[in-house]
Structure 1
């Protein structure tokens, strides 16, 4: 076991307003858990130093290819995918993709000439981070989970700083290099006007609202539990926002008669997450690191359903941290369908319990995480200029 993580608040110093134009390359891809913290860091960099030049690296067939430009940033692609642990013909292409991605990363870094590279995880960050260290470009890692991903673990020995969200991640990284920061979250999540948000969903402010998050790809257990119980939930006189993921949307839209369920809003993806959080009295969600951080930031009571298909069972660890603080209830995949309605009914009608869960969630929030990370990154670029 390594020594305790340093608290980032003791290491953040002032940044120079006259440091020129820092150039920051951010590699992140695959899922929202990697991409949205990266965007939050980019936003904070621009807030700290408006002249910061930022470029993202991702892949064309994942969510970053749309989410990053929508956030106002440029992105370049490399051709890379993960290595499948089971035998598959797709693995035959992996050496070719890896060699190609390294060449593409070399070209991007040579052209953009970053002062620093930030890895927020996902396999796209592997070639970019590796080339950066070989070219002498300082590397910073931001790890979202209690059990770090393979890419960040591989890059860790070459990193200048490793920002972590959970103390549990410390043991997987070089001793003394980690700094606890919390997960960067989007500040706009808490900026929505609540009345306008109810109008956006055509909801009644006097009724309780349940927000169900199936994730960008869709969480099968959550979606199947919702499909099995959606009529019973509607009968509780609840308003429900059910974000099922793009891969499930057509299936449920064709299978369920939503004309008979006027208080249910089935969504493939929520671009207006700020408004969804604003109206939610209770949230059902997976327990990914980003989801837990957003629930804390917005102070939302939650029912967490950890995915059993993640490395190191880190979602269960994340969920138990929330439960132990009184901010959430934990339900397993196998229990969810049978317990969803009764648990939702019990919690959403207990105003005092909801208030207690809200206070507990807010105590876990680290709203300054992105800005703290951005300040350290800018200080590192300033140090590089002085060398």
Structure 2
């Protein structure tokens, strides 16, 4: 088997790393030597190091492209240029046959460096509309793959393809009983899982904790609250288990859940869809983001996969009412989700990527 090198990049949130996580084993099985370029202290460094300690990780400088005024808008372009130079040296050292970018701001200098080094670039976009980093990287890409068919209208038709979702193989290894045991639940109540993404969500954390007493009357509650957001005063409450962040255990917790309340990041909601989990989505508002989660959530609601509660309308009363309706309509949600096409495998995604290698 001929050895080839490939560089993966993407970071800033777990959503910009999860697909890379999923395809690394398949790339290695095909004989590729995988290298990863991320930020020096981003969440991607911890995720990749924990899951794949044998994969060389290179931390580079990167800057954030803000849509609002900040003094850092004047300094971050120089960090991007520094990152381009660092990534270019890595390209020269590793000599990859292709670069695969999952997005996030750290990917921009990597993509530019790959173009300067004449290395093919493949990009993946998970959301309905391309993120700013991928918009910047788009002119340099050999091809862009998308999750949503609707995304293609924003991309060059000759360089873009909708693949649908790609789900990590480890998701299907989840075990409901292990999840229940890990949470020390009796297993007598339905389980509600609440999660706000890898960084957590103060809004979701507060609405859950403010209504915890009422929720525990009907549910056992798993709470993924984000790093640094554990409430030490709530340890030891029967039927309530909080985690700041989980990796390998997440599949077990998802299998244990009967209902899910979540933000609307693309990777997460497609995992819920694949497992046929009735979900209440509270997307990050357009006031706090570019509105991608609102679009994701609205599409899932339109297709009958999810209930949606806009955060502007979120109160204790609307939250509890939305949960009540979710439970009542759960059979219909599950039926609609069961009719969907199965997701692509990581192996299929790898075949799509490596066809562009030089």
TM-score range, shorter chain: over 0.9
Q: Please list the CA deviations of residues 257-315 of structure 1 after superposition, one character each: whole Å capped at 9, or x if unmatched.
A: 444x3101111112211011111000000111111111112211100011114654221
Q: Partner of 2:282 in structure 1? A: 305
Q: Which has the higher contact order (CA 8 A, sep 6+)?
A: 1
Distance 2:71 2:191 in 1: 46
Matched, 1:317 2:295: yes
Matched, 1:210 2:192: yes
Contact 2:37-2:57 within 8 A present in 1 as well: yes
Q: Partner of 1:178 in structure 2? A: 160
Q: Please list the CA deviations of residues 41-69 of structure 1 after superposition, one character each: whole Å capped at 9, or x if unmatched.
A: 2233234x1x2111111012211010011
Matched, 1:193 2:175: yes
Q: Partner of 2:130 in structure 1? A: 148
Distance 2:342 2:136 in 1: 27
Q: Partner of 2:208 in structure 1? A: 226
Give 1:95's match in structure 2, choosing from 77, 92, 107: 77
Distance 1:320 1:23 in 2: 39
Give 1:354's match in structure 2, choosing from 308, 330, 334: 330
Distance 1:364 1:175 in 2: 25
Contact 1:153-1:172 within 8 A present in 2 as well: no
Q: Please list the CA deviations of residues 232-251 of structure 1 after superposition, one character each: whole Å capped at 9, or x if unmatched.
A: 10122x100011111422xx
- Higher mean C-alpha displacement, 171-180 vs 276-285: 171-180
Give 2:221's match in structure 1, choosing from 206, 218, 240: 240
How far does residue 86 in structure 1 lie from its aligned partner after superposition?
A: 3.2
How far does residue 164 in structure 1 lie from its aligned partner after superposition?
A: 0.3
Give 2:322's match in structure 1, choosing from 339, 343, 348: 343
Secondary structure of the corresponding residue to residue 380 of structure 1: coil
TM-score (norm 1): 0.86
Matched, 1:267 2:249: no
What runs of 5+ residues in structure 1 fail to find an aligned partner?
A: 1-17
Q: Partner of 2:48 in structure 1? A: 68
Superposed CA RMSD in Å reads 1.9
Q: Partner of 2:272 in structure 1? A: 295
Give 1:58's match in structure 2, choosing from 16, 38, 59: 38
**Number of aligned residue pairs:** 353
Q: Evaluate the alpha carbon distance shift between residue 313 and residue 68 of structure 1 in structure 2; reply closer, same or farther with a 3 A threshold.
A: same
Q: Partner of 1:372 in structure 2? A: 348
Q: Evaluate the alpha carbon distance shift between residue 91 and residue 314 of structure 1 in structure 2; reply closer, same or farther with a 3 A threshold.
A: closer
Q: Evaluate the alpha carbon distance shift between residue 335 and residue 86 of structure 1 in structure 2; reply closer, same or farther with a 3 A threshold.
A: closer
Contact 2:11-2:103 within 8 A present in 1 as well: yes
Q: When you count helix as a share of all residues, which structure comes out higher?
A: 1
How far does residue 110 in structure 1 lie from its aligned partner after superposition?
A: 0.5
Q: Partner of 1:15 in structure 2? A: none
Contact 2:65-2:105 within 8 A present in 1 as well: no
- Higher mean C-alpha displacement, 307-316 vs 31-40: 307-316
Contact 1:37-1:183 within 8 A present in 2 as well: no
Q: Please list the CA deviations of residues 147-166 of structure 1 after superposition, one character each: whole Å capped at 9, or x if unmatched.
A: 11112112222222210011
What runs of 5+ residues in structure 2 fail to find an aligned partner?
A: none
Q: Partner of 2:87 in structure 1? A: 105
